[in-house]
C-alpha cells in the first residue's frame, strides 16, 4: 500500500528483500559500544531468562541462560557456565524471545506527511530525520530488524548508515531504495500535471520493458539496495489507478527477478489484484506484500514455491477506518471499501492453505512503534500465537535469507533479544509491552525504559 507521507512515500515504495552477506550483516559494527565506551565485543553478558521462546519450536523453555559475547549469542541452555566477570542481566521474571522483524516498513515516512503533497515540500534530508525518529520508536517496540519497502532520495541508505555508525539507535535495516515500476503505476509519483511533476526514468525507479526493468534493478543495487521492491498493481492510496489490473508484464517481471537474483538480491512485490500477483509469483519473487485477492490456484502455487505472503493487515485496517471516518481521499476510500473485505477473506484462506506467512505491517501508513499490533491481527486470521511469533522471527529471517544469522535464539546468531512479562503464547497482546531490547549485544531498553544507548 502506498504510504501517505513524505516524498519518500510518493516516489517510492519499492521494496526488496534480501540478501546475504555484505557489511550490513556484520555482527559487530561501530554501534556495538556501550554508553561507558567499553566495546560490547569485549563484554560478556549472561542473561537469565525465566522462560525462552527460542524460535526453533512452538513451545517455551524454562530457566535458561543466554550467554552473549561480541554481539553474538555464544551459548543457550539450562546449564551454561557463566564466566567470572560477566555482566548479569536478570530476566528471571520475564519471557525472552528473538528480536522481532517487520518485513514491510516505510520508516522514513509518517502518515501525517501527506504523501502526495510532501513530495513537493520536503527536503530530502527531512525524510532521513523522520526516519531517525521512527527508527528509535521501532527499536524500542522490540523490532530489531526491518525490511524497508521504499524511500526516496536514498533516505533509507542514509538512515541505515547512521545506525550502523552508532550515531542513532535503530533496527538493522534492509533497504530497497526506491520501489521500481511502470510509468503511471503505483511506484510512480503520478496524479499531477506533467509541468508539476515531469516524467522520469530509471533514476526514479520507472521502467517500461524488460531491458529497462534490468537497468532499474541495477541502478538501485548500485546505490546500496539490499533488495528490490516492485509494484505489481496499483495501491489503495495512489491516485487515478484501478487496483485490480496488472502493471508489470510477465517479461518485465522475469527480467527483474533474473537480474536481482544474479546480484544476490530478492524481490518483494506490492500486489493486490490476482493478475499482478500471478505475474509476480510465477517470475519467482520472494514475497507478495498485501495480497488482497488470492484464489485457491495461486495459494497452491505460493505454497509449492515457498513464496511468502506478507499480509500487512494493520495497513488494511488503517485505510478501512480512515475510509469510514471520512479522512481518506475519495478515490482511496472507494478502493478501500472494495479491497479490504476481499483482503480479509484472502488472508484467512492463505493461513488455512498453509502458505508461508511473514510478519509485515506497512508502518508509515500508520504511526511507527505500534507495529506489534499486527500479532493480534494475525491471530484473528486463524494463526496460533506461536505461529504469529514465528512469522515475525524465524519465517521473516528465512524470507530475508538470513536465517543462518538471525531469527532464532541459538549459538552463533545475532544477539537480538526482547522480553515481555507473562506468557505471550497465551496472549499476544503482551508483545505490545516489550520491556527489554537487545540488538547486536547492546541493550537499548531495560526494565521497561530506554537505556542510555536507546536514548
Q: Kindly list the residues in this chain that would bind Zn ion in the complex (CB under 5 A).
A: 149, 362
The least distance separating Zn ion from the CB of residue 369, rounded to whole angstroms, comes to 17
Of all residues in the shown chain, the one whose CB is closest to Zn ion is 362
The least distance separating Zn ion from the CB of residue 104, rounded to whole angstroms, comes to 6
Instruction: Give the residue with the Cβ less far from Zn ion, 149 or 437.
Output: 149
The least distance separating Zn ion from the CB of residue 109, rounded to whole angstroms, comes to 9
Alpha-carbon span 140 to 351, nearest angstrom: 29
The least distance separating Zn ion from the CB of residue 121, rounded to whole angstroms, comes to 21
Instruction: Give the residue with the Cβ less far from Zn ion, 73 or 271.
Output: 271
Instruction: Give the residue with the Cβ less far from Zn ion, 156 or 362.
Output: 362
Task: Give helix 330-353 / helix 296-305 axis angle, nearest 10°.
Answer: 60
Instruction: Give the residue with the Cβ less far from Zn ion, 271 or 283.
Output: 271
Instruction: Give the residue with the Cβ less far from Zn ion, 126 or 362.
Output: 362
The least distance separating Zn ion from the CB of residue 169, rounded to whole angstroms, comes to 23
The least distance separating Zn ion from the CB of residue 4, rounded to whole angstroms, comes to 11
The least distance separating Zn ion from the CB of residue 288, rounded to whole angstroms, comes to 12
The least distance separating Zn ion from the CB of residue 420, rounded to whole angstroms, comes to 27
Amino acid at each position: 500500500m502506498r504510504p501517505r507521507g513524505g516524498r519518500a512515500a510518493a516516489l517510492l515504495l519499492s521494496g526488496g528483500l534480501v540478501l546475504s552477506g555484505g557489511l550490513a550483516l556484520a555482527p559487530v559494527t561501530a554501534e556495538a559500544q556501550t554508553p561507558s565506551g567499553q566495546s560490547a565485543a569485549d563484554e560478556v553478558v549472561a542473561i537469565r531468562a525465566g522462560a525462552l521462546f527460542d524460535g526453533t519450536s512452538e513451545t517455551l523453555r524454562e530457566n535458561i541462560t543466554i550467554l552473549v559475547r561480541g554481539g553474538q549469542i555464544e551459548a543457550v541452555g539450562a546449564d551454561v557456565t557463566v564466566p567470572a566477570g560477566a555482566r548479569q542481566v536478570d530476566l528471571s521474571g520475564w519471557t525472552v524471545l528473538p528480536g522481532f522483524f517487520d518485513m514491510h516498513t516505510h520508516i522514513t515516512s509518517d502518515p501525517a506527511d501527506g504523501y502526495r503533497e510532501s513530495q513537493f515540500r520536503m527536503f530530502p534530508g527531512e525524510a532521513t530525520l523522520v526516519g531517525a525518529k521512527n527508527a528509535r520508536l521501532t527499536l524500542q517496540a522490540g523490532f530489531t530488524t526491518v525490511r524497508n519497502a521504499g524511500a526516496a532520495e536514498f533516505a533509507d541508505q542514509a538512515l541505515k548508515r547512521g545506525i550502523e555508525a552508532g550515531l542513532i539507535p535503530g533496527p538493522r535495516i534492509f533497504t530497497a531504495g526506491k520501489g521500481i515500476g511502470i510509468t503511471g503505476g503505483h511506484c510512480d509519483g503520478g496524479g499531477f500535471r506533467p509541468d508539476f511533476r515531469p516524467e522520469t526514468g530509471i533514476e526514479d525507479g520507472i521502467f517500461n520493458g524488460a531491458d529497462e526493468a534490468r537497468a532499474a534493478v541495477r541502478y538501485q543495487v548500485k546505490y546500496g539496495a539490499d533488495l528490490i521492491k516492485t509494484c505489481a498493481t496499483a495501491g489503495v492510496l495512489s491516485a487515478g489507478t484501478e487496483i485490480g489490473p496488472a502493471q508489470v508484464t510477465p517479461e518485465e517481471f522475469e527480467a527483474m527477478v533474473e537480474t536481482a537474483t544474479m546480484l544476490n538480491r530478492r524481490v518483494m512485490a506490492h500486489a493486490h489484484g490476482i493478475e499482478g500477483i500471478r505475474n509476480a509469483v510465477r517470475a519467482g519473487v520472494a514475497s507478495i506484500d498485501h495480497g488482497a485477492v488470492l484464489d485457491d490456484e495461486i495459494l497452491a502455487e505460493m505454497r509449492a514455491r515457498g513464496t511468502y505472503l506478507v499480509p500487512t493487515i494493520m495497513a488494511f485496517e488503517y485505510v478501512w477506518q480512515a475510509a469510514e471516518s471520512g479522512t481518506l481521499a475519495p478515490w482511496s476510500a472507494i478502493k478501500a471499501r472494495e479491497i479490504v473485505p476481499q483482503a480479509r477473506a484472502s488472508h484467512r484462506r492463505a493461513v488455512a492453505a498453509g502458505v508461508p506467512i511473514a510478519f509485515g505491517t506497512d508502518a508509515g501508513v500508520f504511526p511507527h512503534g505500534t507495529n506489534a499490533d499486527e500479532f493480534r491481527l494475525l491471530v484473528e486470521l486463524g494463526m496460533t500465537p506461536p505461529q504469529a511469533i514465528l512469522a515475525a522471527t524465524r519465517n521473516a529471517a528465512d524470507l530475508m535469507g538470513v536465517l543462518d544469522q538471525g531469527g532464532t535464539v541459538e549459538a552463533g546468531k545475532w544477539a537480538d533479544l526482547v522480553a515481555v512479562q507473562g506468557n505471550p503464547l497465551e496472549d499476544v497482546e503482551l508483545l505490545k509491552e516489550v520491556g527489554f531490547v537487545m540488538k547486536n549485544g547492546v541493550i537499548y531498553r531495560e526494565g521497561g525504559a530506554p537505556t542510555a544507548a536507546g536514548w
